Chains A and B, each alone.
Chain A
Amino acid sequence: MKKTPLYEKHAALGAKIIDFGGWAMPVQYTNVIEEHKATRTASALFDICHMGEIEVRGPQAADLLQFALTRDLSGQKTGQVKLSALLNDRGGIIDDLTVYKMADDFFMLVTNATTQEADFQRIQAILDQKKFNCRMEDISGKTGKLDLQGPRAEEILQILADADLKSIRFYHFVESPVAGIPAIISRSGYTGEDGFEIYAAAEKISLIWDAMIGAGRTSGMKPAGLGARDTLRLEAGMMLNGQDMTQDMSPLEVPYGWLVDWDKDFAGKTGLVSLRDRGIAKKIAGLEMTGRGIARHGYAVKSGDKEIGMVTSGTFAPTLNKAVALAFIDTEFTAPDTEVSVVIRNTESAARVVKLPFYKRPK
């Protein structure tokens, strides 16, 4: 298994380590609920070094991304982050990724760990075919990433950052040191809370980690693992690539229609148009268990005797204190308040379709 530069830190903290897509990652340090609640009420620090980063530079870097990705990026300003989707020719999702505009001719893409190579190959193939004047570099190995999330994240990070964090708006970033180390500070995340994603050189990331652990000590900050990351993102109604979406699903089937700009040409558009015109049979919907039990990935969803799909992600939601799930089900059953059932160990348990997200942070 691959290890992040922080592996020894996790081991020293007594974390339980799991294999996540070939990476040895901490799933929890103490327990998932504690780490989850710390994120919602104070703050938590996550090692996200496994995620991929790709640099795109050159006079036509913007043109490449405008064609390779589904979203209209023409209005993106330097210092702004945009979520977008990368499709295959059939209109299926290879990845949902974020685009950081560093300069007019310089972008950074942040990809999922499990699809980083596929993303690179797909975009490189588009670059080669269309002969855009720019070049790509996979900088994942030399880039470290930490997420500091939660209502007290700003206060904790401000101890270590030169930049005035209040001035960074949601989905915007600055290039400014953290604990004296050059970094990118982005106000964004995957938990449904306010917080930051911080990028710095891989060989320096453990210095930032240590500084953050120190800075957060009196503020209730905890290191948190992938277990809490998963329950947090699920409560916030965020998709996990490879689990809630696959290459066989299009942005129209997950709640990602808003990422598609139909007015521009983009890689995979022909496939996506034909999927759209044929009609969408199944969609991702949010479920709340009203009966007993916890829906889990792979469990069947039924309406009466009819099987209508399956659970893609399901968990006990610590903030909501109930079981929630994302399910890929027949479109006709996706309206909020539709009553369905989930098959848990051969027994049907009642569930209700609800609007996403399950959890919204108080403003």
Chain B
Amino acid sequence: MSKTSPADRLYSKDHEWIKNNGDGTAMIGITDYAQEMLTDIVFVELPAVGKKVAQGEPVAVVESVKSVSDVYAPVSGEVIAVNQALEETPELINRDAFGEGWIAKLKLENPNEMTSLLSAADYDRLIQEEKH
């Protein structure tokens, strides 16, 4: 079963994480719970660098053998880098959703949007509820 989510970042109700780099940029990805639910991820569609996304809009797609799921931008911003390694090795998300399995780096448009996200403790409570 999944461990506690790392406290160094924030979470969306749709199971994305965002880690503020403190320089106006942030890394995003999906949570360990999300990869556990999806199981065997076999394809990731990454956004184009330069793409602008609004909070809550689809920014990437992850596919398991049997499912296709959108990844939503936890905040608004511009994609300034993507995790190219996922093109060849999508299972990095299964192996290390919070680390090597990051999906994109965003230049934040409105850092205030962060306040609408969940802390690690709140997110862990949310997934506990989902499990029951």
- A28 in the interface, Cβ–Cβ < 8 Å? yes
Bound-state CA distance A323–B88 (Å) is 14
Q: Tell whether A227 is near chain B: CB-to-CB under 8 Å.
A: yes
Interface string of B56-95 (1 = CB under 8 A from A): 0000010111101000000000000000000100000000
A61 in the interface (beta carbon within 8 A): no
Tally of B interface residues using CB under 8 Å: 12
Q: Does A296 contact B (CB under 8 A)?
A: yes
The reply to whether A32 and B61 contact each other, CB–CB distance below 8 Å, is no
Contact present for B65 and A293 (CB under 8 Å): no
- Would you call B43 and A32 a contact (CB within 8 A)? no
What B residues does A36 contact at CB under 8 A?
A: 65
Interface residues as binary, A113-136 with B (CB distance below 8 Å gives 1, 0 otherwise) = 000000000000000000000000
How many residues belonging to A are interface residues under a CB distance threshold of 8 Å? 20
Q: Determine whether B109 belongs to the interface, using a CB cutoff of 8 Å to chain A.
A: no
How distant is the Cα of A227 from the Cα of B45 in the complex, in angstroms? 22
B residues near A345, Cβ cutoff 8 Å: 45, 61
Q: Are A227 and B66 in contact (CB under 8 A)?
A: yes
| Assembled-state Cα–Cα distance A323/B63 (Å) | 12
B39 at interface by CB-CB < 8 Å: yes
What residues on A are CB-neighbors of B40 within 8 Å? 31-34
A residues near B43, Cβ cutoff 8 Å: 292-294, 316, 323
- Given contact pairs A28-B39, A33-B40, A345-B45, A315 touches B65 in the complex (Cβ within 8 A): yes
B53, CB-defined interface residue at 8 Å? no
Cβ contact within 8 Å between A32 and B68: no
Q: Which residues of A contact B18 (CB under 8 A)?
A: none
Q: How far is the CA of A31 from the CA of B66 in the complex (A)?
A: 10
User: What are 13 A-B interface contacts by the 8 Å CB criterion?
Assistant: A31-B39, A32-B40, A32-B66, A33-B40, A33-B42, A34-B40, A36-B65, A227-B65, A292-B43, A294-B43, A315-B66, A316-B63, A316-B65
